[in-house]
A and B are shown apart, each in its own frame.
Chain A
Amino acid sequence: MVEILIDEDACVGCGSCVDDCPNDVYKMNEEKWKTEVVNLEDCMACLSCHEICPAQAMEHRDIHVAKRLYIDRKVTDVLEKII
């Protein structure tokens, strides 16, 4: 079963994830002004919320992770040497 963790220290309360999620998984907690998960069952693990979050504040656990065939291993090898 999917689990979503929100790093409240990182969340800047922009609400982008609330607007972006098509299944209303998130809601803004207006007291803390941080996002919160209110509808976990409808999360389909599309991860568009990860793309939109400026703070990388969320983590999805126990989901199907799509293959990453687009990664060019030659580029990552070079990057590893540099970084």
Chain B
Amino acid sequence: MNMEIEDIRGTFKPETIPKETTGDINDYEEALHVLMKFVGYMSSSLEQVSGRGANAIVYQAGKRMGHDAGKMVEKTDDLEKAMNELSEILGIEFVFEMWKPSGQEDYTIEKGDETIVKLLFMDCVVRQTLRRTGLPQKGPLCYLLYGYMVGAVEEVMSIKGKLDIDHVGSNACLKTLTIKWGGK
């Protein structure tokens, strides 16, 4: 393959914070694909070495990310508000909405000290990575998103949360978020 690599020359002072990336959309695309492949290989190797323990490791990583991200938004005990805030911090790479079957009246179901809500993840960069690397859904990488979501919910609402997968598809995945009231 004949690839031309542009040599970018300039001055760089230690105190300078560059405003420009010096890259264009093709560079970003290239970087994204390299990262997707890298993460995909890392996930399958982790699974090979640690078996089901891989899920726990990736879940913890996601949870830490979620807690850090959750610190950036206002705390609330209003589930719908929390979902909106979370959707903002998760950004356009994790587009989700609350979902309910047509026969169910409200999005949330109260069960003792628990509130249950179904979330439909439409855009998900984890799913993109799995497709890029030919890996099945519901594997260790999906635990990154579980952890991320749970960590962020716990941080924003100061409660204990759990996310279970109901169904996966190539275009959207349905998950159940269970919130346990009464603090951590």
Q: A residues bordering B, Cβ < 8 Å?
A: 22-23, 39, 41-42, 44-51, 63-70, 72-73
Contacts and interface: CB of A to CB of B under 8 A. Distances in A.
A53 to B, nearest CB: 12
A65 B171 contact: yes
Contacts, number: 66
Interface stretch (B53-61, B70-78, B128-136, B149-157): B128-136
Contact of A42 (B36, B101, B128, B173): B101
Given A45-B172, A64-B122, A70 B167 contact: no
Interface residues of B, number: 27
Contacts of B124: 66
Which one of A48, A63, A68 has the highest number of Cβ atoms from chain B below 10 Å of its Cβ? A48
B132 A70 contact: yes
8 contacts: A22-B174, A44-B99, A47-B169, A47-B170, A67-B123, A69-B32, A70-B36, A72-B132
Contacts of B132: 69-70, 72
A63 B171 CA distance: 10
B125 A66 contact: no
Which one of B120, B170, B173 has the highest number of Cβ atoms from chain A below 10 Å of its Cβ? B170
B80 interface: no
B52 interface: no
Nearest to B121: A66
Interface in B86-108: 95, 99, 101-102
A46 B128 contact: no
Given A48-B167, A50-B170, A63-B171, A70 B102 contact: no
B172 to A, nearest CB: 4
A67 B131 CA distance: 12
A49 B131 CA distance: 17
Nearest to A51: B170
Given A70-B36, A70-B128, A73-B29, A45 B123 contact: no
B166 interface: yes
Contacts of A67: 123, 128
A51 B29 contact: no
Contacts of B102: 39, 41-42
B33 interface: yes
